[in-house]
Amino acid sequence: MSNAPIHRHIIAALVTNEPGVLAQVAGMFAARGFNIDSLVVGRTENPELSRMTIVVLGSDAVLEQVRKQLEKLVPVVQVVDFHHAAVVERDLALVSISTQQDDKPAGARTDILQITDLFRGAVVDVAADRVMVKLEGTEEKIGAFLDLVRPFGILDMARTGVIAMARGGSAVGKPGRARVAVAPVNKEEGIDLSALPPG
């Protein structure tokens, strides 16, 4: 059994915007036993491309395999591993929190609002027995918020997963920073590789 250290890798893949691409990528991970911690897909400024942001936990060797396997998929145009890059990452959470506390029936809502303000969140819905809070930031920030409000009772929660981009755009491709790979693409499909966004 390998004792290689486990790291958190954020991988961004630019893919052609066509049906079945998400299934191909998810199937590749499942077939090789790679666990996806988070996967987000969204449109880019180019209508022909979508960006997948995938968070994977594993050793550097395992993640190198993931990157190489992604590059082999036909719809994948570009793969970037942000593990050693300076990035801006965000996750969005909607959290429904109970305000019904036996020991402080009037104070629970006030305490929750104070914690939300400290984390620069916002209340987006209020009911007699709960409040719904919107919070965006890093996974660590959201995790810290959840730890503080968990004693009140988390009734429901939805999270988007991580999206990320390289800071300043210049981090991509530099030695020791983000690792970039561009897969061969049929030029007749209309995608200009020189016009790809950084990261």
Phi, psi of 63 (to 5 degrees): -70, -30
Residue 74: predicted pLDDT? 76
Residue 1, in any domain of the structure: no
Cα dihedral sign, 70-92-46-18 = positive
The DSSP code for 110 is H
Pair 73, 107 in one domain: no
Pair 73, 122 in one domain: no
Residue range 42-91, pLDDT digits in tens = 989 998 999 999 998 888 887 888 888 888 887 889 888 887 778 899 99
Q: Give the list of residues 6+ apart from residue 125 with CB closer than 8 angstroms, or none.
A: 96, 131, 132
Cα dihedral sign, 165-166-170-174 = negative
CATH assignment of the domain containing 126: 3.30.70.1150
Pair 174, 142 in one domain: no
Is the separation of the CB atoms in 172 and 100 below 8 Å?
Answer: no
* pTM of this structure: 0.73
Pair 75, 114 in one domain: no
Q: What order of strands is seen across the sheet that includes strand 179-182?
A: 36-43, 49-58, 7-16, 76-81, 179-182
* Res. 16: pLDDT tops 60: yes
CATH assignment of the domain containing 186: 3.30.70.260
Q: Closest Cα partner for 126 from 157, 151, 159, 97?
A: 97
Count up the domains in the chain and report the number: 2
Burial class (CB in 10 A: 0-12, 13-18, 19+), 165: buried
Residue 135: predicted pLDDT? 97
Domain range spanning residue 140? 88-159
Pair 33, 101 in one domain: no
* Res. 194: pLDDT tops 50: no
CA distance 162 to 178: 17
Pair 11, 79 in one domain: yes
CA distance 60 to 55: 13
Pair 61, 103 in one domain: no
Residue 136, in any domain of the structure: yes
Residue 105, in any domain of the structure: yes
* Res. 92: pLDDT tops 90: yes
Residue 153: predicted pLDDT? 93
Pair 76, 172 in one domain: yes
* pLDDT level of residue 198 (50, 70, 90 thresholds): very low
* pLDDT level of residue 197 (50, 70, 90 thresholds): very low
Pair 24, 73 in one domain: yes
* Res. 173: pLDDT tops 80: no
Pair 74, 93 in one domain: no
Of residues 88 and 169, more confidence is placed in 88
Residue 2, in any domain of the structure: no
* pLDDT level of residue 105 (50, 70, 90 thresholds): low
Residue 99, in any domain of the structure: yes
Pair 66, 25 in one domain: yes
Of residues 102 and 94, more confidence is placed in 94
Residue range 114-165, pLDDT digits in tens = 999 999 999 999 998 999 999 999 999 999 999 999 999 999 999 999 999 8
